[in-house]
Amino acid sequence: MVTKRDIRDEVSGKLESMSDEEWRGWSKEIAKHLISSSLWKRAEVLALTISRGKEVDTYFLIETAWKQGKKVVVPRTNFKNREMAFYELTSFDQLEDGPYNLKEPNLRRCSAIDPKKIELVIVPGLAFDKNGSRLGFGGGFYDRFLPQTKAQRIALAFPCQIVPLVPTEPHDCLIDHIINPDGFLS
């Protein structure tokens, strides 16, 4: 049986060997599909993460959302209770360096938002399957957070992040839609 650990190792390796050109080109394609979708167009409050390394680029998405007058909220992670809170971001200057190479909203410069106000969540993750199962980074943060909102859940994935089957446990939350460089998978 394939375990979460197997998929983590396999997909992390493939992501590391992705070239910068692939990262840039595929991020652009994925952004194009997301931004032209009705889900994006009708959402006024969007939750995104600040992308790191070989994650699909979210800086361009955040800038686009600002230009379109949308509200962007980003998480701050509490590693003690493994919970996240979301704060409104209006400028990248409001970010500070957090643990694990994370960029997080500065508490003195950003205000918290009620998760119920979020309409669309761009959910990060390592791997996904076509049924919407998700493998995250192993903390269970999104599995704890997603049940607090009714927002649509979209994941953005490079080709190597789509796997035949993500093994799941009862606490794992499903994703509504996955976008890869060719468009919506589901």
Ligand X SMILES: Nc1ncnc2c1ncn2[C@@H]1O[C@H](COP(=O)(O)OP(=O)(O)OP(=O)(O)O)[C@@H](O)[C@H]1O
Q: Which residues are annotated as a binding site?
A: 4-8, 50, 55, 134-142
> Closest separation between CB of residue 123 and ligand X, Å?
8
Q: Closer to Mg ion at the Cβ: 21 or 169?
A: 169
143 scored as a contact of Mg ion (CB under 5 A): yes
Q: Residue 144 touches which of ligand X, Mg ion, none (CB < 5 to 8 A by kind)?
A: ligand X
The whole-angstrom separation of Cα 165 and Cα 12 is: 16
Distance, in Å, from the CA atom of 88 to the CA atom of 172, rounded to the nearest integer, reads 26
H or E segment and range at residue 30: helix 20-35
Q: Which range touches ligand X (CB under 6 A), out of 32-40, 52-60, 67-75, 136-144?
A: 136-144
Draw the binding track, 140-159, toward ligand X (x: CB under 6 A; -: no contact): xxxxx---------------
Asked if 135 is part of the footprint of ligand X (rule: CB under 6 A), the reply reads yes
**Least Cβ distance, residue 35 to ligand X (angstroms):** 24
Binding-site residues for substrate sit at 50, 55
Q: State which residue has the least CB distance to ligand X.
A: 136
CB 135 within 8 A of CB 126: yes
| Residue environment code for 52-82, b if the CB has 16+ CB neighbours within 10 A, otherwise e | eebbbbbeebbeebeeeebbbbbbbbeeeee
Q: How far does Cα 74 stand from its chain's mean position? A: 10
The conformation of residue 175, written as its DSSP 8-state character, comes to P
d(CA 134, CA 124) in angstroms, rounded, equals 9
Does the protein bind ligand X through residue 172 (CB under 6 A)? yes
Q: Is 98 in the site for ligand X (CB under 6 A)?
A: no
Footprint of ligand X (CB under 6 A): 4, 135-144, 171-172
